[in-house]
Amino acid sequence: MTFKAAAVQMCSGVDPQRNAESMARLVKDAAARGAIYVQTPEMTGAVQKDRPGLMGVLRDEENDLIVKAASDLARELAIHLHVGSTAIKLPDGKIANRAFLFGPDGAKIASYDKIHMFDVDLDNGESWRESSVYRPGERALVADLPFAKIGFGVCYDVRFPHLFRAEAMAGAEILTTPAAFTKQTGEAHWEILLRARAIENGAFVISAAQAGLHEDGRETFGHSMIVGPWGKILAAAGGTGEAVVMAEIDTEAVKACRAKIPNLKNGRDFQLDIAPVLAKGGVTV
């Protein structure tokens, strides 16, 4: 099946209401241009590194502003709308970095909590400890939509290929990695990672990203991208500011790529051995 997909690039601030308005404007633009599947970035609702400030605007899923706005938009535009993620308040005081997929009737089809936490110290002085604030997800997800099977991931998940391999083995034809990649890591790895996930799974990869300098001082890499199953970049945005990138998705191309390089079928289980260390003279130690 062939259809149009869009990745919406944003520069979300600290106010969910303003971010919801930006989301609506960009999603409507994508739908007007024929997209029936539209994806927004990670942390669509608020990019806010100050924990008290973030906690002050958080709501549970039932009362979340972005969740309601996205449901209404999907219904109004009769599209499948994928909120790349937004922060959801949990009963235990932690936060879920949660993606949502809404159908053309506005109903929630599925949600996915980011599994892998970005706990890193970068050499430019940036330090991140997502696990101190967010509760990691425990379940991968593939949604079977009328036009394609879609596998879910969020940002740092893209560095864990076994997640996407499991989704591809479950039939996913499109893999998704909405993100708020840091500028430093994005410059080094973003395109390579997205193209690698596409090539190794023979799948489309759609990645809506945050871009530019945010209100909280964070700088994100942008370059929202749609990659084909052969690794070709089909559409890409720049590194700053809002954008809508679109591409024609033909799921027959997934079948063709997987027929050419049938690595999903050719994989084998194996045993990993650790060879003993040999001292000088060939003596095992």
Q: How far apart are CA 154 and CA 164, in angstroms?
A: 11
Q: Check 42, 130, 167, 219 and give the catalytic one.
A: 42
Asked whether the beta carbons of 119 and 130 are under 8 A apart, the reply is yes
Q: How far apart are CA 191 and CA 41, in angstroms?
A: 16
Q: How far is CA 201 from CA 173, 183, 192, in A?
A: 9, 26, 14
Q: Check 155, 167, 219, 257 and give the catalytic one.
A: 155
Active-site residue flag, 42: yes
DSSP collapsed to 3 states, 19-51 = HHHHHHHHHHHHHHCCCCEEECCCCCCCCCCCH
Asked whether the beta carbons of 42 and 178 are under 8 A apart, the reply is yes
Active-site residue flag, 173: no
Q: Could you tell me if residue 75 is left (phi over 0), alpha (psi between -120 and 50 degrees) or otherwise beta?
A: alpha
Q: Check 114, 149, 219, 257 and give the catalytic one.
A: 114
Active-site residue flag, 11: no
| Residues assigned a catalytic role | 42, 114, 155
